[in-house]
Amino acid sequence: MENLDREHLISLRVLGFLYLRLGFADRAARLFQALLALLPEDGEATLSLVAALLENDNAEAALNLLEAPLSAAESANSTGSADPVRLLLKARALWRLQRNEEAFLVMDRYLAAAGAAR
């Protein structure tokens, strides 16, 4: 991250968010993929890329991207609950893939995790 300081990172994230809000999910996805190429451990860029992929109707890629980080988050958390944002995105991906029963189970976990986060 030598050439990418904090202000640049924030600017790129805001630009990606604006792309998403303005309906340019394909541009947002490319931007977040580039950010992840520079900073592979950037969880915020990962979640933003997942959101962009879902907006591009690429639920399979979004779910694949969520699978490993979600498992790591669950194993790292002693209570067994995962990040509510990740769970909500996973439920959306499953829903779009018409895996409704799995989506309902993940939504139940999301509601439990979101309640615990308050």
The full 3-state SS of 29-73, as one line of letters, equals HHHHHHHHHHCCCCHHHHHHHHHHHHHCCCHHHHHHHHHHHHHHH
Q: 19 and 43: one domain?
A: yes
> Quick one: pLDDT band at residue 47, thresholds 50, 70, 90?
very high
Give pLDDT, residue 77: 45
Q: What is the pLDDT of residues 51-88, one digit of tens each?
A: 999 999 999 999 999 986 544 544 554 344 478 999 99
Q: 52 and 64: one domain?
A: no
Give pLDDT, residue 85: 92
Residue 13: which residues within 8 A CB-CB, separation 6 or more? 35, 44, 45, 48
The residue among 56, 77, 93 that closes a domain is 56
pTM: 0.82
Q: 18 and 69: one domain?
A: no
Q: 32 and 21: one domain?
A: yes
Q: Which residue segment(s) compose the domain that 108 sits in?
A: 59-118
Q: How many domains does the chain have?
A: 2
